[in-house]
Amino acid sequence: MRLLLLLFLACTGGVVVPVAAQPVCACEPFTAATRIEFDKLIGSGTKPEIAGFLGHFLEHGSPCCQAIGLTLQSLVFLSQSEFEKSFADAKRAHVLLGNRFHPYVSLESARLLGNYYSRKGNHDSSTYYYFQALDLCNRADDAHLKAKIYNGIALDFLRQEQLDKGLEFTKKALHAAVDTQDTLLLAQYFSDLGIVYWSVYDKHRTAAYLDSTQQTVQQALAFAKMMKSPLSLTKNYLSLGSVAEVKKEFSVALRYTDTLINLVTAKTRPNALASIYMLRGAAYSGLQQHRSAIESQEKALGFALLANNAFLEKTTQKYLYEACKGAGQTARALHALERHKFLSDSLLSVENLEAISRTEQRYNKKINEQQIKELSQTASIQALEIKQMNFWLVGTGLTTLLIASVLYLYFRQRALSQQQKALAIENRFLRFQLDPHFLSNALVSIQRFMLENKTTEASNYLTKFSRLMRQLLEYSREELITIEEEIDLLRNYLDIQKLRLKDQFTFEIKIDPKLSLSESKIQPMFAQPFVENAIEHGVSGKADGKIEILFRSEGENLVLEITDNGAGLGANASDGHHSLSTKIIRERIALLNKTNRRPIQLTFGQSLENTGTRVQLTLPIYS
């Protein structure tokens, strides 16, 4: 569904003065606590409460405080979709601040101006203000604003269908949001990234982008449910509905729109409602219900016009054209098509694209010139210091260099020796991973299915077994794999074992929603041997065997817990298989901990119910 999801991304003049020359402006009443109070008010406060809060700044004698009040009032107007009033106040704040710098107003007013011009399709001006705000970020340590600025730049590129640039800056916005540890902001930007991935897939039809869409939307949906945010839930269900529509699962897409309509509140913005009804109309068109399709698209167009968003109207006109054409209403279809083409020509022009490129280049050039200047100054200082050195310092330097060379050779040789030892232990570890006992049982199970003429079961078992073998071979060669790949390997392994043992046990894999499964990486194949022990020496032979695997985040580490309800540690104390696997794991951990900045930890104990064994592994997470 071409570019529909882009419509739901965050739609939330002055003289440029060099940052270094701007004196800092301060307003004592505006503190971090005051800003938090305003954020709460704008979300749930009444009009009198908000007006009273703004009055403290707007009526203040300081121009700096007045600029803050105007910026906050601009945000209030934006939340109410009063875009012209929002623009007027942001412009006044920008001018009132003049050549002074304020860590909040300077960035936020420039961002709001960029937001306004982007809505109007004036991408030359929008990019100018967005990159001005980005430049000012060098003086303000404000991760929230930085994330919003990157998000605004991303949206500006996406509105011009520059998807690669949009994807680049959406990822930057998400990375900045991670620094804020703001769950609501993470929910929003994970949703946005899922939307952009889907749009790139829709353009290139590359399966990898569709996979990225599904994984990212799942993460976004977890955050949205955690926050119970109607806006974030709406974005994610809209993404799922659009994926269903592009797969021609029109009934599924229609059900998603039913869910979306139930999420609509009095605060739902017109652009959101337009996107919902566009998806609903497209689903009806796919089901050949043309009358309902036209009704939905006309509702979408009404909300697009209410939002005063030319980009939104352009896309709605395209879908209305398709609905009218399907219904045989030729005149209406032609009118919608002509309006769509007119808006396309107005919004996307060669001059706009060239202007954006020039503005971006100016920003990059400024950054490069500053870096060159700093390097030049550093080089001059170093040259002066070298001239002041005397002969005995040169001799000392040569002696130090000689000692450093000897130490380098020593530690290099030591590192090579450790590397060789690591390879040897890795080989022993990998040879042990899928032991002959499991291979034999697996092949016997396949043979049993074939002798009993259960060809379907045999085929399924053989497919899973082949996939597991391929995963073990591939992951054993990698230094790091994603948490998602580790979970996939374990789930495939457990499915095979359940099939082999005729469902004698059940298993459950629990995942901490704070984990980024597709981007966080760990050292591979630590969990499988302990899962194998839990099956073969814990729940094997039990009628109600259960294995629970928990992946949870703890700072920069992944805590992996494997629990079974078997006989416990005492029953397996003399088991040579268990001892050998434990010894190999401990050797691997000991070696890796010599180079790991954060050590791997391994503990054994009884399960919380005192029936069975609990293994806990703490592994460092890498990005």
pLDDT recorded at residue 68: 86
Query: How far is 273 from 264, CA to CA, in rounded Å?
Result: 8
- Which residues have C-beta within 8 Å of that of residue 302, sequence separation ≥ 6? none
Nearest CA to 622 out of 500, 498, 547, 522 is that of 522
Q: What is the per-residue DSSP string for 87-118?
A: HHHHHHHHHHHTT-B-TTHHHHHHHHHHHHHH
H-run or E-run covering 616: strand 613-620
Segment 317-327 shows an average pLDDT of 88
Amino acid at 204: H
- Which residues have C-beta within 8 Å of that of residue 153, sequence separation ≥ 6? 114, 127, 130, 131, 134, 169
The owner of tokens 């991973």 is 433
**Mean pLDDT, the chain, whole residue set:** 78
- Output phi, psi for 375, to 5 deg: -65, -35
Nearest CA to 189 out of 148, 141, 131, 160 is that of 148
The owner of tokens 């054993």 is 476
In this predicted model, which residue has the larger pLDDT, 3 or 330?
A: 330
What sign does the dihedral 599-600-603-609 (CA atoms) show? Answer: positive
Please say whether the beta carbons of 86 and 74 come within 8 A: yes
Query: How far is 355 from 277, CA to CA, in rounded Å?
Result: 34
Does residue 600 carry a pLDDT above 60? Answer: yes
Query: How far is 110 from 104, CA to CA, in rounded Å?
Result: 10
Query: How far is 269 from 607, CA to CA, in rounded Å?
Result: 50
CA distances from 372 to 17, 375, 385 (A): 21, 5, 20
For residue 77, give both structure tokens: 């107007």
**Ordered structural domains, the chain, with CATH:** 248-360 (1.25.40.10), 467-620 (3.30.565.10)
Burial of 417 (0-12, 13-18, 19+ CB in 10 A): exposed
Give me the long-range contacts of 465-472 (CB less than 8 A, separation at least 24): 465/496, 467/492, 468/492, 468/493, 468/496, 469/434, 472/430, 472/433, 472/434, 472/525, 472/528
H-run or E-run covering 490: helix 483-500
Read off the pTM: 0.45
With cut-offs at 50, 70 and 90, classify the pLDDT of residue 384: low
Does residue 13 carry a pLDDT above 50? Answer: no
Give the model confidence (pLDDT) of 50-76 as tens digits.
888 888 888 888 888 888 889 888 888
E-assigned strands of 472-590?
A: 481-482, 505-511, 521-522, 545-554, 557-564
With cut-offs at 50, 70 and 90, classify the pLDDT of residue 254: very high
pLDDT recorded at residue 552: 92
Please say whether the beta carbons of 603 and 538 come within 8 A: no
Amino acid at 307: A
Give the model confidence (pLDDT) of 276-299 as tens digits.
999 999 999 999 998 998 999 898
With cut-offs at 50, 70 and 90, classify the pLDDT of residue 357: low
